[in-house]
């Protein structure tokens, strides 16, 4: 007896069930990864916002409750986005750039488990990746913007050979692009050299060169250690960078001149929590809440905080290197910046 020949249809039916199961399993994993990713994107800002209120209140329960009662969720979210957009975009850019490089690297190694960042990069729609880079473009300080070039090239696996088929033409295009970039930055680079700002020089010059070679697979031996190390590093970076964001005030800093009944004036440095017909509630910079009768308030000025002090004295075409494009454009709309005298006098 010979066994009946196996038809093609039967052969398909025999292998289809495990394949379908595998595909379903993959879909489920993707759905779970997608869910966890979007949960993180929404939950992290929400948790941060609430944590910030606690820090701003100086750890006092009653003060935190006062802030919770008076700071609306929209204000809180807007305040968070204003101060944390930079951190958020940095985290996203790091994840997408590393995820793409690691993803390409494991693609050629069958059976290799895809690293976490690669899976996140896989499930993220391209528009979200582009939006993250755009957010970084407008919120990062100019000084760090060149780092976006290798990050972008890594995320979208852009190689110079995409520019032109002919190697000579590629070299010419790359030279022209790098030349234009250097011409744009020459005055700032000269200033940085004169001020011996070597890190600034490196941050301006090196990243565009790195962008040329960053796309492509990593050697097999590097993938696992790099994946683990960068996952830990990004987590540490987020926590490390999150601390100042959590401690950044939600309410604007003011100095309020209060005149007591005796005629003597006093400057109170702090944040206005709420104003009603009877009192102005001030959260003092050094701690404690003060209820100032509204008729005793003689003047109030808005003050900058210590964190706004520049660390470098360099400009790129009159844009300060520590300003983001958004801040730089804002300064052109309101070019005069006056620091009120009252802001200086207080400790």
Output the smallest distance, CB 21 to other proteins, in A: 35
* In the complex, least distance from residue 22 CB atom to other proteins, rounded to whole angstroms: 30
Give the residue from 279, 282, 272, 281 showing the smallest Cα distance to 293: 279
Q: Which is nearer to other proteins, 39 or 286 (CB)?
A: 286
Q: How far is the CB of 168 from other proteins (least distance, A)?
A: 18
Residues in touch with other proteins (CB under 8 A): 94, 98, 101, 141, 143-144, 147, 150-151, 154, 199, 202-203, 206-207, 210-219, 222, 226, 230, 233, 237, 240-241, 244, 265, 304, 306, 308-311, 313, 315, 318, 320, 322-323, 327, 331-332, 335-347
Name the minimum Å distance from CB 27 to other proteins. Answer: 31
Of 53 and 320, which has the nearer Cβ to other proteins? 320
Rg (CA), the chain: 27
Beta-carbon contacts of residue 310 (< 8 Å; ≥ 6 apart): 320, 322
Residue carrying structure tokens 């309101």: 334
Closer to other proteins by Cβ: residue 281 or 315: 315
Contact of 89 with 132, CB cutoff 8 Å: yes
Measured CA to CA, the distance from residue 273 to residue 252 in angstroms comes to 9
Whether 81 contacts 138, CB under 8 Å? no
Local structure of 15: helix, strand or coil: helix
The distance of closest approach from Cβ of residue 185 to other proteins in the complex, given in angstroms and rounded to an integer, is 16
Which of 56/322 has CB closer to other proteins?
322
Angle at 152 between CA 40 and CA 120, to 5 degrees: 30
Closer residue to other proteins in complex, CB, 18/263: 263
Q: 38 vs 32, 42, 91, 177, CA distance in Å?
A: 10, 6, 14, 37
Residue with smaller CB distance to other proteins, 28 or 161: 161
Write down the least CB distance from residue 33 to other proteins, Å. Answer: 23
């Amino acid at each position: 007896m010979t066994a009946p020949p196996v038809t093609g249809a039967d052969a398909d039916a025999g292998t289809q069930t495990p394949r379908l199961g595998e595909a379903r399993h993959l879909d489920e994993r993707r759905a779970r990864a997608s869910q966890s990713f979007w949960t993180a994107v929404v939950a992290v800002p929400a948790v941060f916002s609430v944590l910030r209120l606690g820090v701003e209140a100086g750890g006092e329960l009653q003060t935190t409750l006062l802030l919770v009662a008076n700071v609306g969720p929209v204000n809180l979210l807007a305040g968070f986005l204003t101060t944390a957009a930079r951190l958020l975009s940095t985290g996203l850019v790091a994840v997408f750039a590393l995820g793409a490089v690691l993803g390409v690297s494991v693609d050629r190694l069958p059976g290799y488990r895809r690293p976490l960042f690669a899976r996140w990069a896989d499930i993220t729609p391209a528009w979200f990746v582009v939006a993250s880079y755009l957010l970084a473009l407008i919120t990062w300080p100019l000084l760090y913007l060149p780092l976006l070039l290798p990050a972008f090239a890594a995320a979208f696996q852009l190689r110079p050979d995409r520019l032109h088929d002919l190697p000579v033409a590629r070299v010419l295009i790359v030279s022209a692009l790098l030349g234009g970039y250097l011409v744009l930055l020459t005055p700032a680079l000269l200033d940085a050299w004169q001020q011996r700002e070597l890190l600034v020089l490196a941050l301006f010059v090196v990243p565009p060169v790195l962008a040329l070679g960053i796309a492509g697979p990593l050697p097999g031996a590097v993938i696992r250690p790099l994946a683990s190390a960068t996952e830990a590093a990004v987590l540490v970076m987020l926590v490390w960078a999150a601390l100042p964001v959590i401690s950044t005030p939600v309410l604007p800093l003011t100095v309020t001149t209060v005149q007591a009944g005796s005629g003597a004036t006093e400057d109170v440095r702090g944040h206005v929590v709420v104003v009603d017909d009877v009192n102005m509630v001030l959260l003092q910079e050094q701690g404690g809440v003060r209820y100032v009768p509204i008729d005793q308030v003689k003047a109030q000025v808005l003050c900058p905080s210590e964190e706004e002090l520049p660390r470098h004295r360099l400009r790129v075409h009159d844009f300060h290197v520590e300003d983001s494009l958004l801040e730089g454009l804002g300064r052109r709309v309101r070019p005069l910046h006056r620091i009120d005298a009252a802001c200086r006098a207080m400790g």
